[in-house]
Amino acid sequence: GILCEGAGRGEQSYIAIGIGLNCASSPGESQVGQDSTSLTQEAGKLIDADRIRNGIILDLLGFLEGLTRFGPGWVREHYLQF
């Protein structure tokens, strides 16, 4: 899931963005009201959050740098490639 929360006003505004991934297990449909899965279930092997965390953070930092340097169009171009 993705969580975005904003605070502040004008030039002193901030947005905190958080993500969550179900690695080893996932909540049942009755808990979240929709289908859910986990990376372990989809990959067919145990996915350890500690082993993938740094790669995800580095990828996100790369996109943040691209956004900062080239603007939102750059992010959109990369998004559309998926």
pLDDT for the residue numbered 30: 58
In single-letter form, the type of residue at position 14 comes to Y
Q: In 1-82, at which residue ranges do the beta strands (DSSP E only) sit?
A: 2-7, 14-19
pLDDT for the residue numbered 29: 58
Q: What is the mean pLDDT of each run of 10 residues along the chain (82 residues)?
A: 86 87 78 81 93 92 93 91 86
Q: What is the 3-state secondary structure (H, E, C) of 6-47?
A: EECCHHHCEEEEEECCCCCCCCCHHHHCCCCCCHHHHHCCCC
Characterise 3 by phi-psi region: left (phi > 0), alpha (psi -120 to 50), beta (else): beta
